Amino acid sequence: MKFRTLSRIVAAAFIAGSTYAAAPAAYAEDAPQPAAEQPAQAKSPFDEKVLEQHVMATVARFEKGDIDGLQAEATTELRPHLTAEQISGAKAEYAPKWGARAGVGKPLMTAGKEGDKWYVICELAVGYKATAVVYRLTYDENMKLAGLFIR
């Protein structure tokens, strides 16, 4: 009787083990393709050093209230929104007078493709004497300012 019970347990273990071992092969079609077979992602057309220079120039124009300079570097879709009233309203939302720039954080950048157009989003924390803000600037593939958000 013990031999019969033992043989049943061993047989059940073999059946369960072979089912477990065969299961990965059954789902191989659903598994992601190996990295070598996946198509390579397109490389971003943005240069990090050039981008940092553009970000700092845009921040300097914003600080000075250089509406003409901001509009010159902006896309045609953004230009109507870059008015003196918008810029002064954005500044007043945080502090009446910001004071001198006290410090600048490390810029964070991420690039992506929407349809057939490339965009890059840059975030930069800047501290002033009276307040601190985070600029979120978006540039298109031609390095035109496509978005300006301050928080």
pLDDT in tens, 63-119: 999 999 999 999 999 999 999 999 999 889 988 889 999 999 999 999 999 888 999
Q: How far is it, in rounded angstroms, from Cα 23 to Cα 127?
A: 57
Q: Residue 1 above 70 pLDDT?
A: no
Query: Is there a contact between 67 and 87 (Cβ–Cβ < 8 Å)?
Result: yes
Average pLDDT over the chain, rounded to an integer: 83
Res. 14 pLDDT band, cuts 50 70 90: low
CB atoms within 10 A of CB 132: 15
pLDDT score for 64: 93
Matching residue, tokens 């057309």:
45
pLDDT score for 9: 65
Q: Residue 147 above 80 pLDDT?
A: yes
Q: Residue 144 above 90 pLDDT?
A: yes
pLDDT score for 94: 87
pLDDT score for 96: 86
- In sequence order, what are the beta bridge partners of 103? 127
Q: Residue 20 above 80 pLDDT?
A: no
Query: Is there a contact between 148 and 134 (Cβ–Cβ < 8 Å)?
Result: no
Res. 36 pLDDT band, cuts 50 70 90: low
Q: Residue 139 above 90 pLDDT?
A: yes
Q: Residue 37 above 60 pLDDT?
A: no
Q: How does DSSP classify residue 79? A: G
